[in-house]
Structures are given as C-alpha cells and as structure tokens.
Structure 1
Amino acid sequence: MNFIAAAITAAGAAIAAGYGNGKVISKTIESMARQPELSGQLRSTMFIGVGLIEALPIIAIVISFMLMSR
C-alpha cells in the first residue's frame, strides 16, 4: 500500500504542477502580447511563480519517498 500511496502522490503533484505551469506561462505570454513594455517585469515574475509551483512536486516526491521507506 505504501507504493500505491507514493505513486498517487507523485502523479497528483506532477499533474498539478503541469497545469499550474501551463496557466502561469500562458497568462504571462498573453500579458506580454498586450503590454510589451512590461515584458521584463512579467518574465521575472513568471520565473518566480514557476519556481514556487515547482516546489510542490519536489515536496511531494520527498513525501512519497518517506512513505516508501516505512
């Protein structure tokens, strides 16, 4: 059961991160198309957001490894 829980945790985190990154990047590109003069600020803010979103699957993988080691 530990392996199933770890797999579900990893899969959910990967799906959520993929969806979140897609939304952030698409909205940033849309904003850059509307206001090209702010593209530098938007890009740096996007990188911060993507970094925070990517923290979720990393934490989930650590939790899944902890579940497997029990």
Structure 2
Amino acid sequence: MPDLSTFTLASTVAAILGISIGVMLPAIAMGWAISRALDALSRQPEAERAIMRTLFIGLAMIESLAIYVLVIVLIILFRNPLLAYLLQ
C-alpha cells in the first residue's frame, strides 16, 4: 500500500497553490475592470447606465472564475478522484 501521507500532502499543497493563484488573478482582473470603468465614466458621464451595466456583467463573469476554482479545490481536498487509483 502506497504512502497516503505524501499523496495527501501533495494534494493539499496543490490545492493551496490553486486557490491562491485562482483567486489572485480574478481579483487583479476585477480591479483592472473597475479602474477602466471609472476612467470611462470620467470621460463620458452621460453613458453611466451602459458602462455600469457592462461592468456588473463583467464582474459577475470574473467572479464566477474564482468560484469555479474554489469548487475544484474543494473537490481535490475532500473527494480526490485520484485517491481510488492510489489505493488499488
């Protein structure tokens, strides 16, 4: 029987790296999108409704990426599909 502690440690480290990168990059993208929207609002204040609507849709899509990363990391941590192959 293989050593499960090494596999568990490797899975945990991969999950930590995945969540850190997977949340950091969408956060940077959200900041960049908000910055650009504020720049667009300062240039064209009359287009506020269209800019805000587009901004909120874009922010929701960016946030969904972070949620997908969270789901995958939770699967790796609590129900690792590779564990069945390791136990055989």
Bin for the TM-score computed over the shorter chain: over 0.9
1:66 is aligned to 75
* Structure with greater helix percent: 1
- Higher relative contact order by CA 8 Å / sep ≥ 6: 1 or 2? 1
Which segments of 5 or more consecutive residues in structure 2 lack a partner in the other structure? 1-9, 81-88
Q: Mapping of 1:1-40 within 5 angstroms?
A: 1-40=10-49
Q: 2-side partners of 1:33 and 1:25: how far apart?
A: 12
Runs of 4 or more above 6 Å deviation = none
* Pairwise CA RMSD: 0.7
2:4 is aligned to none
Q: 2-side partners of 1:22 and 1:42: how far apart?
A: 15
Q: 2-side partners of 1:31 and 1:54: how far apart?
A: 21
Q: 2-side partners of 1:57 and 1:12: how far apart?
A: 10
Report the alpha carbon displacement of residue 13 of structure 1 after superposing the two structures with TM. Answer: 1.2
Q: When the two structures are superposed, what TM-score results if normalisation uses the length of structure 1?
A: 0.96
